[in-house]
Amino acid sequence: MTNSRELIKKIISGDTHAFKSLIQDYQRLVCHVIFKMVTNEQDREDVCQDVFIKVYQNLSKFQFDSKLSTWIAKIAFNTGINYLKKQKVPLFDDVSGENGALEKYWSEETSPDGFTQERDLTCRLQHEITKLPVQFKTILTLYHLEEMSYTEIAEITGLPDGTVKSYLFRARKLLKEKLIAKYQQEELWH
């Protein structure tokens, strides 16, 4: 915390080296959030750039009410959502729905593609994750890769803590079922 305070002070006073080191410290986090939301490879880097420009522009407003990582991830999430809205990507906004709603949202392609031929579990999983609504993808990433708490994820996504937990559990259950169904078809599970 003290380190980030000093870093922020330096950045505000115009130290570009300090800002460069902030980018290096948090680009993995920003990538985790943005890469799950933005599928177009060419747009990904641009959106990540926008995130850091916004971070720079708003840094003087950061009051240390939360961790710097939470604050940056929140900017990244909102930038990603704005990008998706511009691209007219439908967002899952059913907060109370049960698995049925998530199942309905699930997009099952009819044509086989490269990934479904892939037998490696991780590759399969990544492919199945792409079909999840964006909030679910973000929650899975922040929880499993960034090891964030429900409260931190709630702050980033603007969802209540309980919803974060429920989405996480529903996403994992659905992923497990989808993967098992696929592997059972090919008798590959275990």
Partner 1 sequence: MALKHLTDEQIQEYLDGNVSGKSWFAGHLKSCGDCKEKIDEYSSLYSALEVEEKIGLSARFADVVISKITAQASVTPGFQIWQIFLAVLGLGVGLATVVYLIGIKSMGKLFTGLGEFGKISSSVLAIIGNYFAGINLNFGLLGLAAFALVFMVFLDHFILQPKQRALSFFR
* Three-state SS sequence of 84-97: HHHCCCCCCCCCCC
First to last CA, the chain: 45
**What is the Cα–Cα distance from 135 to 141, expressed in whole angstroms?**
10
| CB closer to partner 1, 48 vs 81 | 48
CB count within 10 Å of CB 149 equals: 13
167 binds partner 1 (CB under 8 A): no
Among 95, 145, 181, 188, binds partner 1 (CB under 8 A): 145
Is the Cβ–Cβ distance between 35 and 28 less than 8 Å?
Answer: no
Is the Cβ–Cβ distance between 53 and 44 less than 8 Å?
Answer: no
| CB closer to partner 1, 45 vs 94 | 45
Task: Compute the half-sphere exposure of residue 21: CA atoms within 13 Å on the CB side of its CA.
Answer: 10
Least separation in angstroms between CB 153 and partner 1? 13
Tell which positions 35-74 bind partner 1, by CB under 8 A.
Answer: 35, 45, 48-49, 52-53, 56-57, 60
| CB closer to partner 1, 65 vs 147 | 147
Among 84, 89, 101, 179, binds partner 1 (CB under 8 A): 179
10 binds partner 1 (CB under 8 A): no
130 binds partner 1 (CB under 8 A): no
Among 24, 42, 110, 185, binds partner 1 (CB under 8 A): 24
119 binds partner 1 (CB under 8 A): no
Q: What are phi and psi of 63, to 5 degrees?
A: -105, 10
| CB closer to partner 1, 40 vs 126 | 126
**Helices and strands in the chain, H and E counts:** 10, 0
Q: What are phi and psi of 34, to 5 degrees?
A: -70, -40
Binding stretches for partner 1 (CB under 8 A)? 12, 14, 16, 19-20, 23-24, 27-28, 31-32, 35, 45, 48-49, 52-53, 56-57, 60, 121-122, 125-126, 140, 144-145, 169, 172-173, 175-176, 179-180, 189-190
